[in-house]
């Protein structure tokens, strides 16, 4: 699949999906005016990609600073898709990045991770 | 098909409907349908809550953006406003410590007035642009010095500046007077440099500044109306400082007796003849700063001691010949009496032991 690269805007995050390397990044703030229009193709693309994947290593980094409730729903969808890929035998690592002192983002990541059983979850703190 | 954030839930519901259609037993189908409807309702509720949450977040973000914009506007405005106020007054207003009612109080302040001698005549041949440039350069430099010394700049009156020490912050009456004199001296030094620059730039009659300083009780606070007020000072002590300035030599500093006694150790003063000042009944003793040498090299020849029970001022430049011998004799007498002075038995004051004659000589 062709990579998907989207530069960040005031309301949407930077997206870097490298399907060739199985590496995916979403970084920045996320409160799109139309969450379906922004995330629909991304979710569709990664779901199709994961469906066809076997015995692979997958890395997904979430570097979100701020996101709205609709984005939270999308993130949960992504976690679920990644967990399913892990259940299917892939080595899936989800890295949740939060700024030092941002307990809100840190706790959200921890809560989302409660639904994971097979995918590996890593919390990563970065300096502001 | 367009993407739906809840497409997974919709898929579950569709699957549930298909299963329901396949259930043959009516009782089981009814129970299953009840569960399915509860799930559908839960899904709709979640959808509504997310929509509501997004909308609230959007409004909060908008509010935050508006607040940021208003803060930026207020910051710009307060920055502009600060240039119209003395920094101390501005700070106390913005810290919420400033009372905006028409209340005044009495405080002992040291007040300074300065102006440019014959300003109108000096500048009548100047173009307005040149005049504005020169006067603003002069006032900017004087303000810089004033703020560095902690003066409260009360107002600019054309070429004149009115400043005071002792409010809203005071270091003590003596210290305030000393700071005011040190500032005045630096102002005159700086005015001299400015004059040289003005002359070099072709200005035929450069500025000569006069400074009057007085220390006394003033009424300080908000004066004016409830709608428009000035934080300023009034009182005869203020008038006296203004009048002193009019009697001052060009490039000089003239202080009242009240200020002189507080700062006489700092520099050399020359006592001038008492003068009658308009609006003040008594004759006013005045003292002119003889050499603008503080913190210049001549300050080193003066020794001072001011502590409880001991005040001493020595001008080493005058300690020659018999004056030196007499001073030594007086000081040795004082030291001898001090050495022999018994400690009080129970904290009471010792008997005055220093002979009047010795003190008189020391002074």
* Residue entry with tokens 């984005």: A71
Q: How confident is the model at residue B103 (pLDDT cuts 50, 70, 90)?
A: confident
Q: Which residues contact B49 (CB under 8 A, 6 or more apart)?
A: A69
> Which CATH code fits A4-126?
3.30.750
| Domain definitions of chain A by residue range | 4-126
Q: Does domain B99-298 have CATH number 3.40.50.300?
A: no
How do residues A75-116 score in pLDDT, each as one tens digit?
A: 999 999 999 999 999 999 999 999 999 999 999 999 999 999
Pairwise CA distance, residues A93 & A121, whole Å: 6
Residue-level pLDDT at B296: 43
Which of A31, A41, A70 comes nearest B5 by C-beta? A70
How do residues B27-50 score in pLDDT, each as one tens digit?
A: 999 999 999 999 999 999 999 999
- CB neighbours of residue B351 within 10 Å: 8
Are A70 and B49 in contact (CB < 8 Å)?
no
CA dihedral of residues B239, B245, B248, B253 (deg, nearest 10): 110
β-strands B209-224, B160-165 pairing: unpaired
Are A80 and B8 in contact (CB < 8 Å)?
yes
Are B4 and A36 in contact (CB < 8 Å)?
yes
Q: What is the pTM of this model?
A: 0.58
How do residues B259-305 score in pLDDT, each as one tens digit?
A: 999 998 888 899 998 888 777 778 889 999 987 644 444 455 666 66
Interface of A with B (CB under 8 A): 31, 35-37, 39-41, 43-44, 68-70, 72-74, 77, 80
Q: How confident is the model at residue B307 (pLDDT cuts 50, 70, 90)?
A: low
> Looking at residues A42-58, what average pLDDT do you find?
95
How do residues B178-196 score in pLDDT, each as one tens digit?
A: 999 999 999 999 998 888 8
Radius of gyration of chain B (CA): 38
Residue-level pLDDT at B1: 58
Residue-level pLDDT at B350: 45
Supply the DSSP string of B285-314, one letter for each residue.
EEEEES---TTSGGGGGEEEEEETTEEEEE
Pairwise CA distance, residues B232 & B222, whole Å: 6
Are B2 and A36 in contact (CB < 8 Å)?
yes
Q: Average pLDDT over chain B, rounded to whole? A: 85
Question: What is the value of ipTM here, to two decimals?
Answer: 0.75
Q: Average pLDDT over chain A, rounded to whole? A: 95
Q: How confident is the model at residue B68 (pLDDT cuts 50, 70, 90)?
A: very high
**Strand partners of residue B112:** B163, B213
Q: What is the largest CA-CA distance in chain A?
A: 39
Residue A124 pLDDT more than 70? yes
Supply the DSSP string of B43-59, one letter for each residue.
HHHHHHHHHHHHHHHHH
Pairwise CA distance, residues B154 & B199, whole Å: 30
The answer to which of A35-39, B62-66, B335-339, B351-355 has the lowest mean pLDDT is: B351-355
Q: Which residues contact B205 (CB under 8 A, 6 or more apart)?
A: B121, B122
Secondary structure letter of residue B350 according to DSSP: P
Residue-level pLDDT at B90: 82
> Are the CB atoms for B135 and B154 separated by under 8 Å?
no
Residue with more model confidence, B1 or A106: A106
> Residue B3: its chain A contacts at CB < 8 A?
36-37, 39-41, 43-44
How do residues B109-126 score in pLDDT, each as one tens digit?
A: 999 999 998 888 777 777
Alpha-carbon dihedral sign for residues A80, A85, A88, A93: negative
> Are the CB atoms for B163 and B151 separated by under 8 Å?
yes
């Amino acid at each position: 699949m062709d990579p998907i690269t989207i530069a960040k805007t005031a309301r949407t995050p930077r997206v870097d999906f490298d399907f060739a390397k199985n590496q995916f990044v979403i970084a920045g703030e996320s409160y799109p005016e139309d969450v379906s229009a922004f995330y629909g193709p991304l979710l569709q693309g990664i779901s199709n990609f994961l469906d066809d994947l076997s015995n692979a290593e997958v890395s997904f980094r979430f570097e979100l600073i701020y996101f709205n409730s609709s984005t939270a729903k999308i993130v949960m969808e992504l976690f679920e898709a990644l967990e399913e890929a892990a259940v299917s035998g892939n080595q899936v690592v989800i890295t949740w990045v939060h700024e030092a002192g941002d307990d809100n983002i840190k706790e959200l990541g921890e809560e989302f991770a409660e639904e994971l059983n097979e995918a590996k979850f890593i919390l990563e703190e970065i300096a502001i | 098909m367009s993407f739906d954030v809840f497409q997974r839930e919709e898929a579950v519901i569709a699957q549930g409907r298909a299963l329901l259609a396949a259930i043959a037993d009516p009782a089981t189908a009814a129970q299953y349908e009840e569960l399915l409807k509860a799930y559908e309702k839960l899904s709709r509720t979640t959808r509504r809550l997310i929509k509501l949450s997004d909308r609230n977040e959007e409004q909060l973000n908008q509010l935050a953006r508006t607040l940021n914009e208003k803060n930026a506007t207020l910051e710009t405005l307060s920055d502009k406003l600060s240039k119209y106020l003395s920094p101390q007054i501005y700070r106390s207003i913005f810290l919420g410590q400033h009372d905006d009612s028409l209340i005044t109080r009495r405080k002992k302040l040291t007040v300074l007035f300065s102006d440019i001698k014959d300003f109108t005549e000096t500048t009548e041949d100047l173009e307005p642009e040149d005049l504005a440039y020169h006067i603003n350069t002069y006032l900017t430099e004087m303000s810089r010095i004033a703020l560095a010394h902690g003066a409260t700049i009360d107002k600019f009156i054309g070429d004149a500046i009115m400043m005071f020490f002792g409010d809203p912050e005071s270091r003590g009456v003596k210290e305030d007077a000393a700071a005011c004199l040190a500032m005045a001296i630096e102002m005159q030094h700086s005015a001299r440099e400015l004059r040289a620059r003005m002359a070099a730039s072709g200005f035929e009659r450069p500025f000569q500044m006069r400074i009057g300083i007085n220390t006394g009780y003033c009424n300080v606070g908000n004066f004016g109306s409830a709608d428009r007020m000035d934080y300023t000072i009034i009182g005869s002590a203020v008038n006296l400082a203004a009048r002193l300035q009019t009697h001052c030599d060009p490039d000089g500093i003239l202080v009242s007796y009240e200020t002189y006694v507080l700062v006489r150790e700092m520099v050399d003063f020359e006592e001038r003849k008492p003068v009658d000042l308009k609006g003040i009944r008594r004759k006013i003793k005045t003292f002119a700063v003889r050499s603008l040498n503080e913190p210049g090299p001549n300050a080193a020849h003066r020794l001072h001691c001011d502590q409880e029970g001991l005040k001493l001022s020595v001008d080493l430049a005058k300690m020659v010949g018999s004056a030196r011998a007499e001073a030594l004799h007086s000081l040795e007498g004082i030291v001898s009496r001090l050495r022999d002075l018994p400690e009080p038995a129970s904290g009471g004051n010792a008997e005055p032991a220093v002979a009047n004659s010795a003190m008189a000589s020391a002074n």
